[in-house]
């Protein structure tokens, strides 16, 4: 600010020094014209001769290239912005054209804005202030809009924020480096680089426009016009061109910019929906329409996957945020710094999965082996390509069903480890919410997050993670008849979401369930692999015992397998207890202790049925 004041003072002093010399020239010209005392009434005298120009007025006190600018402006003021056919005017225009390397109209516009900018003491200039300066119809000035925009592109003038008391209309100012060159009568240097015009400055400026509009109560169209102006000023920001291509409607872009401002400028994770809507609408009818399109997710920002609900409750309590796609669209490569890493707590990498030897019934071993082989990277790619060629869903969906403790869940993790895939484990209990619509929203977001993981995998390792729905009896069971607006309706809605998402699944979904007879027929058709895990027979159980307690003899392992009908999970519980004894005592417990643990486990497991009841 101090430098700008010093610059203006220098210009003022220079002009004041010229004032006395020019006063004499004015008096001489006045005498040749008959003088100001020649009886011509002030009211009918030409505009340029009404009163003495004040010292510092650019219309009468200039030198060098400033002289050409002054001559152009004085001539135009005499003719109310109609170019006079005089040699002095023509010579001045030619001189300014050569100086700026512009055409005649651009030279005239530049001279006018340059003069007005300082006549206005540095306040921005609009078409209307320029028309008032020349006492002409604003439409005459506005006809030169295209040439004015070219001057903006060349960097000779800048579009800027309007004054505090005015909102609409484009306003312009003269850049400091242009002023310095003109005053020094030196060539204007190449346009300043656009390094300071970034997407961040654009988002910040647009937010200020929104704040101003909200405070002033101006019409929403004035905000749209101002946002367009900022877009033009930042036209070299490549990501803005991509936004405009994807969202041709300025209303949609302004909404997107406003959400971005809340998240980027203020590092918020979400934006209040009601605040967003109130800032971007005029009347209640438009406000309600916008709210409805957001709540039912039909708005183009949802359709283009640019915004998402962070919390979907009532209209008053809902919040939205930018998607990773939107961050990448707006910020380009920098968008990755704002993107959320989805599912980190639920995502288990293959390196963190402990290797375990599993034993199956012969039929299960063949099926598990076939599925594991199908999920190998090259095999899955070939399989999905063939499915796509036949216009079939390319996602691989499998369901493991059978009694508890038969190794369904552990099989998923061991398959993931062998195929080098991460596991995205869904905690179904945490997916449910007491708020209307939020459970459905969570499931939709779950699949949205999974698709992002698959997109990321495609760009990197090419290994899609496995989406695991463990103990999914409640959501994959048979749909119920709707009798009320209670839980049955919610469950059916969730199942509809699941059915739709399974059709367009890009990767791998595996569900485990204990209820083999309760699977809904619609889901059954969508599972490409269905593996029933049978309870292990004596031979398999004997192998499980020997694998976990290597010090058992074959006869002891066989006795445990024959005397106790444990599933693998129950055997694992007993093994943990025996291992604790080994650690505490420092020696292998006697076989009788093992038998006692088995008898105790059998009593405990017989007290109550664990799991879902059909």
Q: Which residues contact 259 (CB under 8 A, 6 or more apart)?
A: 271, 276, 307, 320, 321, 322, 326
Residue-level pLDDT at 368: 92
pLDDT > 80? residue 54: no
Choose between 439 and 501: higher pLDDT. 501
Decide which of 318, 337, 356 is a domain's last residue.
337
With a pLDDT cut of 70, the percent of the chain lying above it is 79
Mean pLDDT of the chain: 80
How would residue 609 be classed by pLDDT, with cut points 50, 70 and 90?
A: very low
Is residue 613 one of the residues assigned to a domain? no
Which among 38, 93, 45 is positioned nearest to 65, based on CA atoms? Answer: 93
Q: Is residue 507 domain-shared with residue 368, that is, in the same domain?
A: yes
Range of the domain at 111: 2-192
Q: Is residue 490 domain-shared with residue 552, that is, in the same domain?
A: no
Is residue 111 one of the residues assigned to a domain? yes
Residue-level pLDDT at 58: 43
- For tokens 């390094």, the residue is 195
Q: Are strands 508-513 and 466-469 parallel, antiparallel or unpaired?
A: parallel
Which among 417, 414, 443 is positioned nearest to 431, based on CA atoms? Answer: 443
Burial letters 83-103, b for 16+ CB under 10 A, else e = eeeeeebeebbebbbebbebe
Range from 4-8, 49-53, 445-449 carrying the lowest mean pLDDT: 49-53
pLDDT digits (tens, 9 = 90+) for 8-48: 555 555 545 544 444 454 454 444 444 444 443 333 333 33
Is residue 368 one of the residues assigned to a domain? yes
Average pLDDT over residues 468-484: 70
Q: Are strands 423-426 and 347-348 parallel, antiparallel or unpaired?
A: antiparallel
Q: How far apart are CA 545 and CA 611, in angstroms?
A: 24
Is residue 614 one of the residues assigned to a domain? no
Q: Is residue 526 domain-shared with residue 495, that is, in the same domain?
A: yes
Angle between helix 591-607 and 554-563 (nearest 10): 20
Range from 93-107, 155-169, 545-559 carrying the lowest mean pLDDT: 155-169
Q: How far apart are CA 444 and CA 302, in angstroms?
A: 12
pTM over 0.95: no
pLDDT > 80? residue 119: no
Average pLDDT over residues 522-537: 86
Residue-level pLDDT at 437: 62
pLDDT digits (tens, 9 = 90+) for 155-183: 899 877 777 655 556 788 898 889 989 99
Average pLDDT over residues 235-251: 93
Decide which of 512, 533, 554 is a domain's last residue.
533
Q: Is residue 182 domain-shared with residue 261, that is, in the same domain?
A: no
pLDDT > 70? residue 287: yes
Q: Which residues pair with 160 in a beta bridge?
A: 171
Residue-level pLDDT at 434: 56
- For tokens 């059954």, the residue is 524
Q: Is residue 368 domain-shared with residue 480, that is, in the same domain?
A: yes
pLDDT digits (tens, 9 = 90+) for 387-406: 888 888 889 999 999 888 88
The pair phi, psi for residue 424, each rounded to 5°, is -100, 100
Q: How far apart are CA 113 and CA 362, in angstroms?
A: 89
Q: What phi-psi label fits residue 305: left (phi over 0), alpha (psi between -120 and 50 degrees) or beta?
A: left
Q: How many domains does the chain have?
A: 4
Q: With contact defined as beta carbons under 8 Å apart, do 265 and 209 qualify?
A: no
Q: Is residue 555 domain-shared with residue 527, that is, in the same domain?
A: no
pLDDT digits (tens, 9 = 90+) for 532-542: 998 888 888 88
Residue-level pLDDT at 203: 93
Which among 82, 75, 90 is positioned nearest to 131, based on CA atoms? Answer: 82
Residue-level pLDDT at 10: 56
Range from 73-77, 349-353, 465-469, 535-539 carrying the lowest mean pLDDT: 535-539
pLDDT digits (tens, 9 = 90+) for 259-282: 999 988 887 788 999 999 999 998
Is residue 342 one of the residues assigned to a domain? no
Average pLDDT over residues 212-225: 83
Average pLDDT over residues 455-482: 79
Q: With contact defined as beta carbons under 8 Å apart, do 574 and 594 qualify?
A: yes
Per-residue 3-state assignment (H helix, E strand, C coil) for 190-228: CCCCHHHCCHHHHHHHHHHHHHHHHHHCCCHHHHHHHHH
Which among 115, 114, 117, 137 is positioned nearest to 125, based on CA atoms? Answer: 117
Q: How far apart are CA 261 and CA 264, in angstroms?
A: 5
Name the token pair of 555: 């006869």
Q: Is residue 553 domain-shared with residue 524, that is, in the same domain?
A: no
pLDDT digits (tens, 9 = 90+) for 64-96: 899 999 999 999 999 888 888 889 999 999 999
Q: Is residue 288 domain-shared with residue 391, that is, in the same domain?
A: no
Decide which of 489, 506, 533 is a domain's last residue.
533
> H helices then E strands: how many in the chain?
28, 11
* 284-285-288 Cα angle (round to 5): 80
CATH number, position 60? 1.10.10.10
Q: Is residue 31 domain-shared with residue 112, that is, in the same domain?
A: yes
Q: With contact defined as beta carbons under 8 Å apart, do 465 and 452 qualify?
A: no
Name the token pair of 528: 């490409």
């Amino acid at each position: 600010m101090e430098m700008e004041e010093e610059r203006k003072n220098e210009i003022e002093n220079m002009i004041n020094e010229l004032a006395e010399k020019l006063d004499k020239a004015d008096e001489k010209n006045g005498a040749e014209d008959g003088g100001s005392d020649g009886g011509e009434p002030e009211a009918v005298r030409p505009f340029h001769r009404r009163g003495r120009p004040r010292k510092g007025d650019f219309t009468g006190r200039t030198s060098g290239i400033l002289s050409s600018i002054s001559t152009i402006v004085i001539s135009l003021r005499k003719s109310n912005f109609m170019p006079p056919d005089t040699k002095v005017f023509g010579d001045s225009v030619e001189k300014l054209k050569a100086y700026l390397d512009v055409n005649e109209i651009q030279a005239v516009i530049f001279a006018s804005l340059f003069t007005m900018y300082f006549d206005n003491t540095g306040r921005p200039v609009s078409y209307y202030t320029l028309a008032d300066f020349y006492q002409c119809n604003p439409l005459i000035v506005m006809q030169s809009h295209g040439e004015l925009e070219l001057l903006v592109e060349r960097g000779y003038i800048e579009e800027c924020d309007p004054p505090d008391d005015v909102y609409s209309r484009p306003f312009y100012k003269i850049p400091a480096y242009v002023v310095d060159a003109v005053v020094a009568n030196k060539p204007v240097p190449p346009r300043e680089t656009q390094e300071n015009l970034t997407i961040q400055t654009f988002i910040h400026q647009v937010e200020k426009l929104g704040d101003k509009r909200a405070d002033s109560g101006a019409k929403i169209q004035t905000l749209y016009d101002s946002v367009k102006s900022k877009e033009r000023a930042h036209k070299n920001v490549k990501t803005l061109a991509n936004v405009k291509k994807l969202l041709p409607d300025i209303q949609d872009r302004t909404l997107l910019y406003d959400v971005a401002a809340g998240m980027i400028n203020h590092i918020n994770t979400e934006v209040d929906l009601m605040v967003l809507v109130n800032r971007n609408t005029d009347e209640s009818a438009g406000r309600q329409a916008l709210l409805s399109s957001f709540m039912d997710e039909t708005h183009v920002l949802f359709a283009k996957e640019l915004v998402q609900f962070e919390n979907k409750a009532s209209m008053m309590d809902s919040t939205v945020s930018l998607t990773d796609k939107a961050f990448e669209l707006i910020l380009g490569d920098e968008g990755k710094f704002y993107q959320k890493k989805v599912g980190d707590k639920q995502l288990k990498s293959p390196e963190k999965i402990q290797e375990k030897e599993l034993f199956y019934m012969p039929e299960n071993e063949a099926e598990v082996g076939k599925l594991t082989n199908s999920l190998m990277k090259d095999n899955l790619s070939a399989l999905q390509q063939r499915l796509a060629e036949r216009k079939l869903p390319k996602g691989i969906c499998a369901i493991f069903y059978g009694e508890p403790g038969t190794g369904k869940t552990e099989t998923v993790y061991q398959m993931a480890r062998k195929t080098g895939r991460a596991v995205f484990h869904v905690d179904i209990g945490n997916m449910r919410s007491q708020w209307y619509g939020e459970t459905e929203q969570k499931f939709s977001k779950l699949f949205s997050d999974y698709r992002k993981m698959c997109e990321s995998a495609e760009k990197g390792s090419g290994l899609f993670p496995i989406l695991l729905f463990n103990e999914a009896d409640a959501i994959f069971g048979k749909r119920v008849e709707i009798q009320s607006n209670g839980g049955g309706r919610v469950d059916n809605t969730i199942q509809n979401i699941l059915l739709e998402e399974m059709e367009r699944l890009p990767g791998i979904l595996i569900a485990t369930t204990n209820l083999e007879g309760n699977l809904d027929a619609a889901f059954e058709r969508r599972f490409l692999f269905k593996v029933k895990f049978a309870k292990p027979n004596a031979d398999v159980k004997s192998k499980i015992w020997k694998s976990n307690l290597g010090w058992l003899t074959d006869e002891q392992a066989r006795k445990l397998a024959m005397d106790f009908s444990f599933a693998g999970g129950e055997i694992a519980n007993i093994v943990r207890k025996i291992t604790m004894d080994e650690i505490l005592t420092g020696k292998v417990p006697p076989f009788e202790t093992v038998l006692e643990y088995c008898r105790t486990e059998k009593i405990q497991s017989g007290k109550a049925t664990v799991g879902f009841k059909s």
